[in-house]
Chains A and B, each alone.
Chain A
Amino acid sequence: MLSNALEALKTYDWGTDRAVLAPIDEAVISTRDDEGSRQELEASLAAVLATPVSRDAKDYVCRKLMVIGTAASVPALARLLPEEEHSHMARFALARIPAPEAAAAMRDALASLDGELKVGVISSLGARGDEASVPALAALLASGDQQIARSAALALGDIRNAAAAQALAAAKPADPEVMRAVVDGRLACAERLLDSGDKSAAMAIYKPMLGADQPKQVRLAATRGMLACAGQKE
């Protein structure tokens, strides 16, 4: 049955009866405590990604690898990152595979990707809280591509460690959209610092945001943060 379902992936496409893939869905659950069968299933699915099956079939495989994928699937998924049609679904799996190889593959892809595909990888590294990507993301804050610079700022705000805070503090984007993301990221970092008890570092982020040149909501955020630093509720 499982072999039939894997075979069905060759012709699977939008409009095909979903039931033909049900044995794969079932195997994802039934192989949970059977390491050998699980590895076999993962290898079979990863192998499909290198074949000329439909976009929908690869989409389905990536969804399953999101659930069962390990470091073993990473090379097959990483090969899809530069492909316009498959990059997102490759990240769909890579972003949730806990193996460090998955994050490393996305970091490695940053250097060769551009435009929206790069934005996608940046967002997944941020969502993953990948601290090792901070230097690369920091460099992208100065990108001439507004979407990339904005995305990097938001990702650093997701990671919100000391290095991310430092990178965001140094950023001086001229683009207002990027600046909004930098401010948001800095506020996220300040909240982390406050949570960890480093009130003076948090205060150093909040204080300059009280200026009349800042939007109302940013001044409110800074006021709220400074009150919290002082141990008061707003």
Chain B
Amino acid sequence: MSCRQQTRRKFLKTAAVVAAAPYVITSNALGQGDVPPASDRIVMGGIGIGNQGSSDQGAFLGRPDVQYVAVSDVRESVRKAAKERADQHYKNSDCQTYDDFREILARDDIDAVHIATPDHWHAIMVIEACRNGKDVYCQKPETLTLREGPLMIDAARRYARVVSGGSQRVQEDYKELVARCWGGELGEIKSINVNVGPLSQLCNLPAETTPPDIDWEMWLGPAAWAPYNAARCSGSFATDGGSWRSYVDYSGGGMTDWGAHHFGGATFAIDVRELQPVEIEYHNDPEGKHLTYKYANGLLLHHNRPKTENLVVEGTPGEKRPAKPAPTYKGEGGIYGDFIHCVKTREKPFRDIELAVNTVAVSHLGTIAYQLQRSLKWDQAAQEFPGDEEANRFLDRARRQPWQL
């Protein structure tokens, strides 16, 4: 019997218990002051609580309309720290810890989860959360492959779940640019440029001794097996080899990691968030490799256009257009407040999973064009490169057993 089979059995046994257990009404169940009664609070758990996950945990813990009850992480020290943080916040010891995220998803008392694992886990966890009736706040980049996106959208829509992506920068960093574009100040918008990178690379780091703190099989999950190496699984924000964000099995590199922000801001500014490009032109000029994405409505999105700064918009100055109202967060408290508001009202959040998927698709499409070193055509409805057998091979990748979307 493999370790994972044992883990699975343990999971099933525990899941049966936790699913049957009622939510324990704590001393502050009736609410007091600004804290609403338990019945009005969103009961949440967190999956992947290191680095960005810790920041997300802090944001949700700080909300009086959230009751934060569980954490899951493959690192024991991270689980412990996250539990202590929640317990100190509530002055109790109620926060439960889990090595296996499925144990959180099996709890009937949990309404929503936030996910901040490495990207190779996102689709599996989001889809499984939806199947279990949870609303989800998932960190960006929400997908690792193009095929994952529509399946995540399907799961969210199928089970009527609120699923928000997790780029706070789209609304907060590019506010002025969006206001100028949507306000009509730049006239008819023609194009925008995004400078971002690099692409992720194959990881071939040497084996190191696996620390007892980490469940390495679970960290790898659906990714190809590889030996433990601290840089391979570091949660730092490096995309130059110092963290998982640098490596192709876990991330699309800067192209998706920062791309989720920059392409998100760019597609929001020129109002193509609901679309995916229909063509990706690959250029290999003396000045460097770069791309031009074409949308069906004629708008262009440049990537790394030579001698062009990030998020420069080409409009028609002097031809001011009528302003249109730009979407913004609902509720209070930034992107986290937007998500919680939508969990309560069942509205679509600002970075609804469909918009998030469209954004990260820009990164993936560009990555494939760079990998193949040629131009591509893309059919958004069919989710394929029409008649392009070579490019279609890159739509997805087989997941390591026993993980499945």
Contacts and interface: CB of A to CB of B under 8 A. Distances in A.
20 contacts: A16-B204, A66-B393, A88-B398, A92-B224, A95-B396, A96-B397, A96-B398, A98-B389, A98-B393, A115-B5, A116-B2, A119-B404, A120-B402, A154-B404, A180-B131, A184-B131, A216-B133, A220-B159, A224-B157, A224-B160
> DSSP class of B's interface residues: helix, strand, loop or mixed?
loop
A133 interface: no
B402 A119 contact: yes
Interface in A24-47: 29, 32
Nearest to A85: B225
Interface in B372-401: 372-373, 389-390, 392-394, 396-401
A187 interface: yes
B373 A123 contact: no
A118 to B, nearest CB: 8
A217 B393 contact: no
B392 A98 contact: yes
- Among A18, A94, A126, A221, chain B packs the most CB atoms within 10 A around the CB of A221
B404 to A, nearest CB: 4
Nearest to A97: B393
Interface in B201-232: 201-202, 204-207, 224-227
Interface of A: 14-16, 18, 29, 32, 55-56, 59-60, 63, 66-67, 85, 87-89, 91-92, 94-98, 115-117, 119-120, 122-124, 126-127, 146-147, 151, 154-155, 158, 177, 180, 184, 187-188, 191, 215-218, 220-221, 224, 234
Interface of B: 2, 4-5, 8, 12, 130-133, 147, 154, 157-161, 201-202, 204-207, 224-227, 372-373, 389-390, 392-394, 396-405
Contact of B133 (A116, A155, A215, A224): A215
A212 B56 CA distance: 35
Nearest to B395: A96
A93 to B, nearest CB: 8
Contact of A15 (B147, B205, B390, B398): B205
A56 B229 CA distance: 14
Contacts, number: 121
Contact of B204 (A14, A122, A123): A14
Contacts of A63: 202
B161 A217 contact: yes
B204 A116 contact: no
Contacts of A89: 224
B299 to A, nearest CB: 28
A212 to B, nearest CB: 15
Nearest to A126: B404
Nearest to A60: B202
A94 B204 CA distance: 22
Nearest to B130: A217
Contact of A191 (B154, B227, B396): B154
Contacts of A95: 396-398
Given A67-B393, A96-B393, A115-B5, A18 B160 contact: no
Given A116-B401, A146-B12, 10 more contacts: A18-B204, A89-B224, A97-B393, A116-B402, A123-B401, A177-B12, A184-B158, A217-B161, A220-B159, A224-B160
